[in-house]
Structure 1
Amino acid sequence: MSKVAIITGSGAGLGKGIAQQLAKDGFKVVLQDINEDSLKETEKEFKNDGYEVASVAGDVSKKDDHEKFVKTAVDNFGQLDVYVNNAGIDIVAPFLETTEEQMNKIFAINVNGVMFGTQAAARQFIDQGSKGKVINACSIAGHESYEMLGAYSATKHAVKSLTHSASKELAKDNITVNAYCPGVAKTEMWDRIDAEMVKYNDDMEPGDAFKEFSGAISLGRYQEPQDVANLVSFLASEKADYITGQAIVTDGGLVYR
């Protein structure tokens, strides 16, 4: 019987890559995104590729929306087996210029979203009487703290902590909770980080920040979405049944923990 996975923030970017890999692995997938246009486009692409897929728009910062995501999976496919809390945002700003509005927004999405998604998924796993897996998007910024990324780094440290706490409490229900920690990828998020860093540093030109970070990677190349998807694929599989409470770095050799 095919397993079912929900991937938040999967209309594009790393989330889409993760969803594609899980679909290739035989999962029935529920795509979720706040951007309905990219969500529908990705759903159409998946269906054309022959994957069993459903989609649901919503806001991961809202607790009720996560319940809706779970209901979409159950209504379409009868169950839920894996919940990937992938959705997230970044904020690039000097520490002293980071605003209350920015802090509230990034914590609502990156931290509250992970909490609410884990709760909704765990309740469904328990109701089903089945084991389940929650897989959270952390970051190398959950292991190291970066200048100009103070708020973002704080949220990812919080995600790591939630992963640890949830894994301890939910183990008795045969639910594992882990996180993946990407490094430097050529994504829209990194394009924004690069552009914002140039604004605050007169000595930098467009592309310099990305070049600086990616140039320090031991394996000599920046990250591709597939590099992250491969790790999530493993964590979603039965091969990872004995792994819980871990925030695993997949960065080509940049942050060593």
Structure 2
Amino acid sequence: MSISKGIALITGSAQGIGRSIAMRLAQDGFDIALNDVPTKGPQLESVATEIKSLGRQVCVVPADVIVDEQVKEMVDGAVTNLGGLDIMVANAGVATGGSLISSTVESWDHTLTVNARGTYLCYKYAAMQMIDQGRGGRIIGASSLLGKMAFPYNCSYAASKFAIRGLTQVAALELGKYGITVNAYAPGWILTDMTKGVMDESGKVDFARYIDDPVSRKWCTSVLENVPIKHIGQPEDVASIVSYLASKEAHFITGQCLSIDGGISMA
């Protein structure tokens, strides 16, 4: 086994983008703590087996990221099993659609709770651990194209992902003195199990499945049709950006939200 580059904890890593991030960081030489909700235990164990085959140490720390005590225990579990925490990737989240008028308070609260509060708790307990260790660290969160550029019929999701950008900037300002950088990544349409309900293998999105207004559908479709890079976004594309943000080379980058969307958003 090669010398470890450090310990990385990735939330929502049972599948999709989170799984790809975990695999990439393991390939980079990090030991890995895998997290998802307890019901995804079998998937987490499958990912853990793959990481072990790469010669890296791995542990599974199931938790619901919206529960304060569970997030604290998740971080403590990673530290106990692997010896510390150098990288926190707060990837867990939910994707929801719905217009401002048709949405419910319940759907709003659920989306903001998982995406915004969950990320906040991961940032908080990771920062506390990294400060105690005294060796700096990397905190990385999952924003979205919709955290930079609003699309219709995504009111709660866009709000939650814009919130992560603000949280990231505040955390970067507060934690820089400890040698901790805080950044976020903003994927566009990425082909995962979560998006397969509205996105086919060719990358075409069927907005009719959740947008009933033809004007809004036409606008969304035109945005994707005019993306500069025609490559279909894959989880590995996001993982490569996280790999860089987790590296020593990214030590002078903080408070940023990097887009992985083929050029849809250039802000």
TM-score range for the pair, normalised by the shorter chain length: over 0.9
Query: C-alpha distance in 1, partners of 2:222/2:11?
Result: 30
Q: CA deviation at 1:25?
A: 0.3
Query: C-alpha distance in 2, partners of 1:199/1:18?
Result: 29
Residue type matched to 2:258 in 1? I
Gaps of 5+ in 2: 200-205
| Cα separation, partners in 2 of 1:230 and 1:209, compared to 1, 3 Å | farther
Aligned residue number for residue 203 of structure 2: none
Equivalent in 206, 209, 212 of residue 198 of structure 1:
209
Aligned length: 254
Instruction: Using structure 2 for the length normalisation, give the TM-score.
Output: 0.89
Equivalent residue of 1:229, what SS? helix
Q: CA deviation at 1:210?
A: 9.3
Aligned residue number for residue 252 of structure 1: 262
Aligned residue number for residue 234 of structure 1: 244
**2:167 matches 1:156:** no
Equivalent in 98, 117, 125 of residue 122 of structure 2:
117
Q: CA deviation at 1:150?
A: 1.1
CA deviation string 1:99-129 (max 9, x = no partner): 1111111111100011110110010011111
% identity of equivalent residues:
35
The answer to whether the 8 Å contact 1:190/1:210 transfers is no
**2:12 matches 1:9:** yes
Q: CA deviation at 1:193?
A: 4.7
| Cα separation, partners in 2 of 1:127 and 1:199, compared to 1, 3 Å | closer
Equivalent in 220, 227, 231 of residue 230 of structure 2:
220
Counterparts of residues 56-205 of structure 1 (less than 5 Å): 56-193=61-198, 197-201=208-212
Gaps of 5+ in 1: none
Equivalent residue of 1:177, what SS? strand
The answer to whether the 8 Å contact 1:176/1:244 transfers is yes
Instruction: Using structure 1 for the length normalisation, give the TM-score.
Output: 0.92
CA deviation string 1:4-42 (max 9, x = no partner): 000000000000000000000000000101122221222
Q: CA deviation at 1:166?
A: 0.6
Residue type matched to 2:141 in 1? N
Runs of 4+ that moved beyond 4 A: 193-197, 208-214
| Cα separation, partners in 2 of 1:27 and 1:141, compared to 1, 3 Å | same
Aligned residue number for residue 51 of structure 2: 46
| Cα separation, partners in 2 of 1:203 and 1:164, compared to 1, 3 Å | closer
Q: CA deviation at 1:211?
A: 7.0
Residue type matched to 1:228 in 2? V
